[in-house]
């Protein structure tokens, strides 16, 4: 079979912050698939780029006192460093802020405009008169029009859950300047997505194009009716200006996916001039294009993106491979728990191939969330990679090196056993191609068990102590090395660094899947060196602790920029630089008496109780408190407590917690702090 021509891309990371564990799940999945397809002999090109446009980046650069161009260049350098650290094998890594992407974006827009797929009409928005810019919902705050909660964003209330238009907020203000916004009209440009309804309904149902669960979900959009898509933003905006529309810019989601094309185009121009762009992107091309993306951006990739491409006369992706989210220790990644782990922090403490292997052992072709359980992570890596795979080489190589002058035996004493390992490669390769990585890992580890069972039965270390058994020891250890070689070839897409080291140790020119079919006979190997160390729990603990420290560090920004960073970047968990605080810090805390109106067990949590509190306000407050081990719901009803009333609402998977109940003690014993008798809900505590 001739080699397939395949172009693979990953979702473009936003050039506004660091790569973290949640990001890496999708990039490692794509990289394993790319390496596996290459190992099978296919011609795979793998490109990516930083998503470098938008208001958030413009404001982040302003807060940092640099230009947007400097901002995205700095972040791109960090992204490329972190991806390289985890062995992500991009052929080319680009930026959407390139002349190539600008030209390709303009071309696609103009082709769609010529085809009648662009409309222009006025839009009423809130405008910041001080910053002289239109405000998106996240840069507007005010009072919820329903529950009257203060400090709510312009699209929904985090207290009562109501959604609304920003113009409905009471007492709105701009988070960028503090000014009261005014309503203003501006012409916006729209992509007529409904023009493609019939096309997209068929496209999303084409065999293999999308996971069935995703196609089913998209049916909800078709049933509701597709709407025109606003593809423009007003100046000031960091991005590409729309042709023939001064001071109007492409919304970031227009030029971001076009970055797949421009990154590939720049790859051709700089590294592979013999390739032809149109061979991959022309309509009806036989080459394959796959996008690896997270489930949160399916809407853009399965509706807007193919519609834009079709409207401009280009081919569409062969398939979208969709991954779920990552949890750590069964919970959403947490800064306070130290489980919101940056790629850079991980690399300072642990071997990146540990994580690649652990993710591979979890991943399938299903759109499912994955959990990084740190205890399981330690056990699995130590048991599988160190205890099973690398252990085979360490048990056999020392005899080959010391007793047989580094030379494997001239004949295979267990040809059928070795052949069974070779034959297993077909199903393992098929599992990789289908992105059933966990199935591939299970089969590889089953082979590892058989290899270790063989060595345990033959006991070369015991044979070596007996007279006249040299040949037998030689043959047993040579079989062991051959089995080890098969295992590492199969693991090479997951563990490329280990594979390179083993290839050098075995002194082999090729290490692809086809090379496994020749048994190594009378073959010289190099001196064995330790290949992989056990995961040290102390290193994992240190990584978690370092994540707490790095994410709690204060971010120095200009005073006016401090508010606007709230949604543009990850917020620090604390602005206090040490254990020492000032009286001003204390006075910021608003402590109020509250009465527990109701208390309930939170299903799915062994620590939380859900409290309904009367704090002397118009509406009761909902607060989640980790006191279930000390109090039953019945103990709390009617009880007076002290509430931190000005704590920002916190989104939890069970709902929104609007405050904190004060307790004293430690994890073993917590006691609620109660006010003096005679206090009433709403009283201030000083």
Asked whether the beta carbons of 594 and 658 are under 8 A apart, the reply is: no
Nearest-10 Cα torsion for 260, 265, 266, 272:
120
Q: Is the peptide bond before 552 cis (omega within 30 degrees of 0)?
A: no
Residue 160 marked ligand-binding: yes
CA–CA dist 351, 87 (Å, integer): 11
| Residue 564 burial by Cβ neighbours in a 10 Å radius (0-12, 13-18, 19+) | buried
Walk across the sheet containing 370-372 and list its strands.
331-332, 326-328, 370-372
Residue 477 marked ligand-binding: no
Residue 48 marked ligand-binding: no
Residue 144 marked ligand-binding: yes
By DSSP bridging, strand 609-614 and strand 591-601 are antiparallel
CA–CA dist 145, 557 (Å, integer): 31
Asked whether the beta carbons of 564 and 64 are under 8 A apart, the reply is: no
**Residue whose pair of structure tokens reads 């413009």 in the numeric block:** 58
Residue 147 marked ligand-binding: yes
Nearest to 507 by CA among 522, 496, 493: 522
269-305 b/e with 16+ CB inside 10 Å = b?
eeeeeebeeeebbeeebebbbbbbbbbebbebbbbbb
Nearest-10 Cα torsion for 241, 291, 499, 77:
20
How many CB atoms are closer than 10 A to CB 421? 24
Encoded tokens for 310: 């079709």
Distance separating the N- and C-terminal Cα atoms of the chain: 79
How far is CA 16 from each of CA 253, 564, 569, rounded to the nearest angstrom? Answer: 15, 14, 7
Note the Cα 556 to chain centre separation in Å.
26
Where is the binding site for ATP, in residues?
Answer: 335
Binding residues for Zn(2+): 144, 147, 157, 160
Annotated binding-site ranges: 144, 147, 157, 160, 335
């Amino acid at each position: 079979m001739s080699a397939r021509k395949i172009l693979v891309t990953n979702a473009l990371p936003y050039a506004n912050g660091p790569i973290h564990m949640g990001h890496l799940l999708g990039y490692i999945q794509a990289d394993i698939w790319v390496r596996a397809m290459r190992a099978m002999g296919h011609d795979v090109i793998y490109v990516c780029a930083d998503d470098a446009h938008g208001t958030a980046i413009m404001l982040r650069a302003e807060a940092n006192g640099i230009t947007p161009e400097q901002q995205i260049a700095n972040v791109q350098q960090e992204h490329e460093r972190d991806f390289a650290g985890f062995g992500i094998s991009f052929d080319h890594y680009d930026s959407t802020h390139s002349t190539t992407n600008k030209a390709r974006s303009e071309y696609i827009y103009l082709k769609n405009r010529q085809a009648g797929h662009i409309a222009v009409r006025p839009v009423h928005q809130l405008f910041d008169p001080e910053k002289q810019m239109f405000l998106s919902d996240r840069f507007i705050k005010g009072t919820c029009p329903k529950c009257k909660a203060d400090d709510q964003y312009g699209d929904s209330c985090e207290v009562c859950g109501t959604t609304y238009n920003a113009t409905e907020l009471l007492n709105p203000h701009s988070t960028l300047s503090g000014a009261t916004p005014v309503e203003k009209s501006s012409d916006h440009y729209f992509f007529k997505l409904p023009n493609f309804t019939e096309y997209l309904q068929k496209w999303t149902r084409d065999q293999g194009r999308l996971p069935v669960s995703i196609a089913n979900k998209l049916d909800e959009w078709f049933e509701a009716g597709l709407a025109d898509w606003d593809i423009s933003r007003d100046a000031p905006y960091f991005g590409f200006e729309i042709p023939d529309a001064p001071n109007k810019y492409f919304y970031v989601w227009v030029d971001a996916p076009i970055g797949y094309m421009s990154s590939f185009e720049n790859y051709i121009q700089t590294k592979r001039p013999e390739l032809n762009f149109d061979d991959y992107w022309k309509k009806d091309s036989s080459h394959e294009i796959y996008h690896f993306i997270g489930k949160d951006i399916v809407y853009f990739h399965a509706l807007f993106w193919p519609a834009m491409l079709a409207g401009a006369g280009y081919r569409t992706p062969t398939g979208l491979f969709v991954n779920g989210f990552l949890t750590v220790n069964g919970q959403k990644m947490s800064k306070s728990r130290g489980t919101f782990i940056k790629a850079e922090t991980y690399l300072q403490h642990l071997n990146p191939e540990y994580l690649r292997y652990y993710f591979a052992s979890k991943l399938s072709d299903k759109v499912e969330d994955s959990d990084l359980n740190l205890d399981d992570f330690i056990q699995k890596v130590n048991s599988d990679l160190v205890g099973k795979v690398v252990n085979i080489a360490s048990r056999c190589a020392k005899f080959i090196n010391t007793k047989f002058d580094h030379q494997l035996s001239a004949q295979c004493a267990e040809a059928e056993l070795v052949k069974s390992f070779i034959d297993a490669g077909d199903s393992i390769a098929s599992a990789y191609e289908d992105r059933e990585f966990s199935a591939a890992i299970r089969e590889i580890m089953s082979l590892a068990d058989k290899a270790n069972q063989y060595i345990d039965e033959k006991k070369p270390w015991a044979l070596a102590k007996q007279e006249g058994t040299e040949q037998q020891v030689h043959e047993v250890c040579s079989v062991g090395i051959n089995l080890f070689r098969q295992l590492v070839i199969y693991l090479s897409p997951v563990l490329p660094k280990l594979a390179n080291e083993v290839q050098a140790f075995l002194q082999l020119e090729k290490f692809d899947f086809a090379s496994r079919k020749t048994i190594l006979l009378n073959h010289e190997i190099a001196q064995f060196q330790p290949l992989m160390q056990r995961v040290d729990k102390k290193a994992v603990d240190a990584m978690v602790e370092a994540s707490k420290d790095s994410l709690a560090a204060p971010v120095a920004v200009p005073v006016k920029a401090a508010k606007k960073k709230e949604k543009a970047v990850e917020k620090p968990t604390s602005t206090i630089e040490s254990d020492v605080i000032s009286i001003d810090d204390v006075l910021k805390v608003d402590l109020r008496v509250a009465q527990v109106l109701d208390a309930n067990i939170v299903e799915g949590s062994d620590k939380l109780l859900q409290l309904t509190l009367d704090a002397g306000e118009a509406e009761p407050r909902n607060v989640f408190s980790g006191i279930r081990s000390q109090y039953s719901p019945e103990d709390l009803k009617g009880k007076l407590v002290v509430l931190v009333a000005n704590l920002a609402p916190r989104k939890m998977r069970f709902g929104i917690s609007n405050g904190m109940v004060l307790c004293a003690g430690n994890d073993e014993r917590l006691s609620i702090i109660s006010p003096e008798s005679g206090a009433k809900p709403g009283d201030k505590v000083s």
